[in-house]
């Protein structure tokens, strides 16, 4: 097999949250490598630690121990102001879209550009391009309340792409959508991966989503990676109890 360049690397990442008594260990010594250009899935039951894991990848949560690297650069050693820069390399989309309700689709996509210092004019031109890319060229002036769930998620995807990220992190991005709309959003993500070469991490509890677009998948159970491998192989013959419970 040809040697692949690594986009995301986690080394011994653990995360604990302080509790009234002691602490809750949510991630336990997670090692993970995601190659450039990959669509990588992370599946697990509710509470397994999936969201905490993505939040540790973009350092929205600081791991209690371990290291996180993005495209060869260690993030865990950076001060907050340098992290802000690096976070532009990682777009994120969520189940609940997190759009600004008082702003139009166009203004939502302009927003991250304007706060990173791009002129209004340039931001607008880029936002129009991105909204066309996600199939919303006709709805630039629509407010989120006037858009369907699938359209809102497309705006969120356009916004996540605005700062030209290397990685798109999708946390349950299709979990609020019906199957047809989900299929459309997954096709769009696949298209973005193929056309723009962006590495995509898909976190979900829906097996069908993984089977649809991922190359490799990790099964997370109780804050640990239970198993990891090619999607076909894992779905054909899961090796662990956690894997069997999810797949069958």
Query: Of residues 4, 12, 23, 24, which one binds ligand ADP by CB under 6 A?
Result: 24
Q: Which does 246 bind (CB under 5 to 8 A by kind): Mg ion, ligand ADP, none?
A: none
DSSP codes, 195-211: HH--EEEEEES-HHHHH
- Residue 58 near ligand ADP by CB under 6 A: no
Would you say 110 or 203 has its CB closer to ligand ADP?
A: 203
CB 84 within 8 A of CB 90: no
- In DSSP notation, 83-129 reads HHHHHTTEEEEETT----TTS-HHHHHHHHHHHTT--HHHHHHHHHH
111, with CB counted inside 10 A (0-12, 13-18, 19+), is middle
**Region binding ligand ADP by CB under 6 A among candidate stretches 1-9, 47-55, 141-149, 209-217:** 47-55
Report which of 80, 81, 77, 61 is spatially closest to residue 69, judged by C-alpha positions.
77
Does 23 contact ligand ADP by CB under 6 A? no
Q: Which stretch binds ligand ADP (CB under 6 A): 40-48, 94-102, 113-121, 238-246?
A: 40-48
Q: Counting Cβ atoms within 10 Å, is residue 148 exposed (0-12), middle (13-18) or buried (19+)?
A: exposed
Q: Which stretch binds Mg ion (CB under 5 A): 50-58, 139-147, 231-239, 240-248?
A: 50-58
Distance, in Å, from the CA atom of 16 to the CA atom of 22, rounded to the nearest integer, reads: 10
Residues 180-199 that bind ligand ADP (CB under 6 A): none
52 binds Mg ion (CB under 5 A): no
Q: According to CB under 5 A, which one of 8, 51, 118, 126 is a site residue for Mg ion?
A: 51
Nearest to ligand ADP of 144, 243 (CB atom):
243
> Which residue lies nearer to ligand ADP by CB, 167 or 203?
203
Q: Using CB distances below 5 to 8 A depending on partner kind, what does residue 115 bind out of ligand ADP, Mg ion, none?
A: none
Pick from 47, 137, 141, 197: which binds ligand ADP (CB under 6 A)?
Answer: 47
Q: Which does 174 bind (CB under 5 to 8 A by kind): Mg ion, ligand ADP, none?
A: none
63: which 2 tokens? 């791991």
| Cα distance between residue 162 and residue 91, in whole Å | 8
Question: Other CB atoms closer than 10 Å to residue 205's CB: what's the count?
Answer: 15
Nearer to ligand ADP, 24 or 77 (CB): 24
Residues 77-136, interacting with ligand ADP (CB under 6 A): none
Q: Give the Cα separation of 23 and 73 in Å (integer).
A: 30
- Helix (H/G/I), strand (E/B), else coil: 35: strand
Q: Which residues bind Mg ion (CB under 5 A)?
A: 50-51
Q: Which residues bind ligand ADP (CB under 6 A)?
A: 17, 24, 26, 44, 46-52
């Amino acid at each position: 097999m040809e040697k692949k360049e690594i986009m995301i690397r986690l080394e011994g990442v653990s995360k604990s949250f302080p509790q009234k008594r002691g602490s809750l260990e949510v991630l336990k010594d997670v090692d993970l490598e995601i190659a450039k250009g990959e669509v990588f899935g992370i599946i697990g039951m509710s509470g397994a630690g999936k969201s905490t894991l993505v939040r540790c990848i973009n350092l929205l949560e600081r791991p209690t121990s371990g290291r996180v690297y993005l495209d060869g650069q260690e993030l865990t050693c950076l001060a907050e102001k340098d992290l802000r820069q690096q976070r532009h390399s990682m777009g994120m989309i969520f189940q609940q879209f997190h759009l600004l309700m008082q702003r139009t689709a166009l203004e939502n996509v302009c927003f991250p550009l304007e706060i990173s210092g791009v002129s209004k004019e340039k931001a607008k031109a880029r936002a129009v391009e991105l909204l066309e890319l996600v199939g919303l060229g006709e709805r630039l002036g629509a407010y989120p309340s006037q858009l369907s769930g699938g359209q809102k998620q497309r705006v969120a995807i356009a916004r996540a792409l605005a700062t030209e990220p290397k990685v798109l992190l999708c946390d349950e991005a299709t979990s609020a959508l019906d199957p047809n709309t989900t299929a459309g959003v997954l096709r769009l993500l696949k298209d973005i991966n193929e056309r723009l070469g962006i590495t995509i991490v898909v976190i979900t509890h829906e097996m069908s989503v993984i089977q649809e677009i991922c190359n490799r998948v990790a099964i997370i159970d109780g804050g640990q990676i239970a198993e990891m491998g090619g999607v076909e192989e894992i779905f054909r013959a899961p090796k662990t109890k956690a894997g069997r419970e999810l797949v069958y």
